């Protein structure tokens, strides 16, 4: 079988890319190894910039029909003392909120929309196993489905298969991986009555919790433990863990005591970041988590992944018209340099916040308080947060979307 483009991975990056290319009448196939979108849990918060893209693409209606939680504020408190807040209403942009919605709903909506184009193909239960090469150039992929081997030849393979990308290895990309200095424990509890809107970060001395209202009526809570401290944390027992969290946010005690009965009600997340140096080889490009796995701070992974796809579209379009055969790596130089700037801006911001959150001595905690309060009052606060939350569509650049 021959296609113009094959996308490996049906996550936010791959499905959005598939829809964008389908709209351009490009023969595109998306391969997804799972048979449903109910795969491993991935983020549920979508930043306003990506919500704006989904609206422009006519996908948003399906999300409204399902229902979501509006996310309009981010707040940081040292226990009850406000350190920092941002309200998306203050942004000079028509999209005033992000959303929290199960990711499978978004992926299904993207697939439905893309399927309305006859040139779009989605193959699920299909695991990409290898690249097909002509010399050094990638000219297609091999995949297995129901124990049978298949292959597709194409002019561009887009690797969008997430943080454990196989194409990253098969394509011999140089990648820099960093393990975080701490592990994260997540859990979900029903939202207590009267809980306020917005994402909340609460710090207290050397500890903190991240609390995200989650569809339909829950809170997703994350708290750090030191790297490799899982066994020790567990040995102290679940009651001690509840105490640790409720010392910072006492309003969580009731729902935690009722719903967090054992460690099975929690999830340990090993945090690492990975950055690929050059995202493209002849006939192959990586996007989303495959090219850059970010930390979960401020939930930017989906946003960046979707914007990678959006910004790649004109390059694929022009490449298919300009060249014959596989698209050369150098065609994407400009794209990669633009995207890397945005990714390193986000990663830099996350790193500074991580350092703030990791404050451990009383002096560091005091410094954090001062820094966050200064940032809260800084004239550039809105500009920085807008760049983070809207990325490529900060200036409403929607050319090619309607």
Ligand X SMILES: Cc1cc2nc3c(=O)[nH]c(=O)nc-3n(C[C@H](O)[C@H](O)[C@H](O)COP(=O)(O)OP(=O)(O)OC[C@H]3O[C@@H](n4cnc5c(N)ncnc54)[C@H](O)[C@@H]3O)c2cc1C
Is there binding between residue 161 and ligand X (CB under 6 A)? yes
Q: Between 255 and 391, name the residue whose CB sits nearer to ligand X.
A: 391
Q: List Cβ<8 Å contacts ≥24 apart for 259-266.
A: 259/188, 259/189, 259/190, 260/187, 260/189, 262/238, 263/234, 263/238, 265/187, 266/185, 266/186, 266/187, 266/241
Question: How many residues belong to the site for ligand X (CB under 6 A)?
Answer: 35
Check residue 66 for interaction with ligand X (CB under 6 A).
no
Handedness of CA 60, 65, 66, 68 (dihedral sign): positive
> Quick one: which segment of 66-74, 161-169, 251-259, 368-376 binds ligand X (CB under 6 A)?
161-169
- Taking CB under 6 A as the criterion, the residue among 199, 223, 266, 300 binding ligand X is 300
Tell me if 125 contacts ligand X by CB under 6 A: no
Q: Phi first, then psi: give them for residue 200, nearest 5 degrees.
A: -125, 130
Q: Which of 6, 20, 23, 44 binds ligand X (CB under 6 A)?
A: 44
Q: C-alpha angle 387/388/389, rounded to 5°?
A: 100
Candidates 26-34, 114-122, 147-155, 330-338: pick the segment binding ligand X (CB under 6 A).
Answer: 26-34
| Residue 38, phi then psi, degrees to nearest 5 | -80, 60
Q: Does 10 bind ligand X (CB under 6 A)?
A: yes
Helices and strands in the chain, H and E counts: 12, 22
**Between residues 140 and 162, which has the closer beta carbon with respect to ligand X?**
162
Cβ atoms 203, 78 nearer than 8 A:
yes
List the one residue from 4, 6, 12, 68 that touches ligand X (CB under 6 A): 12
Q: Which is nearer to ligand X, 179 or 243 (CB)?
A: 179
| Contact window for ligand X (CB under 6 A) among 60-68, 145-153, 275-283, 293-301 | 293-301
Cβ pair 386, 91 in contact under 8 A: yes
Q: Which of 6, 8, 221, 346 binds ligand X (CB under 6 A)?
A: 8
Judged by CB, which is closer to ligand X: 340, or 368? 340
């Amino acid at each position: 079988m021959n296609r113009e483009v094959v996308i490996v991975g049906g996550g936010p990056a791959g499905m959005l890319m598939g829809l964008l290319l389908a709209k351009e009448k490009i023969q595109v196939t998306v391969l997804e190894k799972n048979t449903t979108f109910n795969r491993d849990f991935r983020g549920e918060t979508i930043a306003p910039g990506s919500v704006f893209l989904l609206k422009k693409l006519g996908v948003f209606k399906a999300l409204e029909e399902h229902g979501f939680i509006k996310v309009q504020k981010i707040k940081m408190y040292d226990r009850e003392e406000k350190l920092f807040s941002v309200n998306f209403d203050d942004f000079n942009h028509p999209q005033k909120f992000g959303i929290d919605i199960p990711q499978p709903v978004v992926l299904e909506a993207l697939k439905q929309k893309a399927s309305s184009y006859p040139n779009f193909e989605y193959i699920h239960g299909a695991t990409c196993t290898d690249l097909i090469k002509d010399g050094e150039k990638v000219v297609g992929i091999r995949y297995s489905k129901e124990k049978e081997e298949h292959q597709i030849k194409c002019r561009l393979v887009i690797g969008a298969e997430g943080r454990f990308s196989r194409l990253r290895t098969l394509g011999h990309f140089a990648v820099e991986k960093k393990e975080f200095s701490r592990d994260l424990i997540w859990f979900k509890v029903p939202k207590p009555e009267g809980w306020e809107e917005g994402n909340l970060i609460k710090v207290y001395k050397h500890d903190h919790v991240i609390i995200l209202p989650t569809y339909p009526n829950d809170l997703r809570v994350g708290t750090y433990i030191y790297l490799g401290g899982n066994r020790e944390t567990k040995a102290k027992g679940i009651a001690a863990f509840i105490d640790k969290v409720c010392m910072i946010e006492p309003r969580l005690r009731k729902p935690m005591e009722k719903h967090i009965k054992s460690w099975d009600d929690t999830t340990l997340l090993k945090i690492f970041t990975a950055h690929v140096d050059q995202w493209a080889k002849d006939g192959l490009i990586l996007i989303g988590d495959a090219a850059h796995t970010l930390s979960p701070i401020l939930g930017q992974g989906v946003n960046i992944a979707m914007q990678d796809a959006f910004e790649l579209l004109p390059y694929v379009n022009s490449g298919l018209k300009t060249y014959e055969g596989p698209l050369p790596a150098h065609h994407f130089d400009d794209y990669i340099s633009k995207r890397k700037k945005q990714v390193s801006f986000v990663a830099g911001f996350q790193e500074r916040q991580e350092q703030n959150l990791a404050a451990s001595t009383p002096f560091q905690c005091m410094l954090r308080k001062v820094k966050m309060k200064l940032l809260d009052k800084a004239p550039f606060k809105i500009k920085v947060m807008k760049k983070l939350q809207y990325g490529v569509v900060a200036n409403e650049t929607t050319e090619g979307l309607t």
